[in-house]
Amino acid sequence: MFDELILPVRCEKGEALTLLAGLRERGLIIGTDEAGRGALAGPVVAAAVCLTQEQEDSLISLGLKDSKRLSPKRREELFTAMKGLGVLWRAYMAGAETVDRDNVLNASLLAMNGAVSRVAETAGRAECVIVDGNARIKGLEIPQWVLVKADDIIPCVSAASVAAKVIRDRLMMRLSAKYPGYSLGRNKGYPTRAHMEAVRRNGLSDIHRVTFCRKILQERGEITDAAD
């Protein structure tokens, strides 16, 4: 049984790919990753991806890797290629209110759960879901391999990182028009100097995370201490 195996939370790429090959012989593998954990505004978006060997080979030949190591143009090109290849993927998001209520890690895991569950509903029984990071997804019945830097090692997780990042960036571009004054289309909600100055000047919008902006709110006199 898979869940009787001990899979490393950290390992070198060669070892990880060997383990992946063994798991793929057992059945369907899903990879999941998120985007937006460090942002001041906007949701955390998670994506889950299932790749055939042919799809994986094609995307690797196109330069698939962790989305953080790709330009926005290359991410868009790879996401377009994924759709052209018929890659099975799904996304799910957790908004600012969820981040503030549950903390960003739990919000990320909630979004991953939603994305993985949607892929599993379409693909059928999965042998394993490979999760980027070091935290297990709560409430997920599929066996999990939690792997640090999986987004730069395991192709289906790399593809999930690309999908999550592209989807979130597109959303932030749309939200920029709805919430002018924060340059969300440029900073995508992340804490650039200009974005933080805009928050100091304008206060928070309803898509900003209060728990991520406490210092600025203290400066504005809107809260008195970190416990408020």
Count H helices and E strands in the chain, helices first.
9, 5
109 and 206 in a single domain? The answer is no
167 and 197 in a single domain? The answer is no
Reported as a single tens digit per residue, the pLDDT across 109-147 is 999 999 999 999 999 889 999 999 999 999 999 999 999
Share of the chain above pLDDT 70, in %: 96
Task: With cut-offs at 50, 70 and 90, classify the pLDDT of residue 5.
Answer: low
Range of the domain at 131: 2-173
Rounded-to-integer distance, Cα 176 and Cα 41, Å: 11
What pLDDT shows up at residue 74?
98
- 225 found inside a domain: no
29 and 90 in a single domain? The answer is yes
Stretch 17-38: mean pLDDT: 96
CATH number of the domain encompassing residue 42 = 3.30.420.10
60 and 130 in a single domain? The answer is yes
Whose tokens are 């955390």? That residue is 44
Reported as a single tens digit per residue, the pLDDT across 154-169 is 999 999 999 999 999 9
Structural domain total, the chain: 2
Contact 184, 39 (CB under 8 A): no
Task: With cut-offs at 50, 70 and 90, classify the pLDDT of residue 4.
Answer: very low
- 227 found inside a domain: no
196 and 157 in a single domain? The answer is no
The sign one gets for the Cα dihedral 185, 189, 195, 200 is positive
Whether this prediction's pTM lies above 0.85 is answered by: yes
For the chain, give the mean pLDDT: 94
Domain boundary among 138, 155, 173: 173
60 and 77 in a single domain? The answer is yes
- 42 found inside a domain: yes
67 and 134 in a single domain? The answer is yes
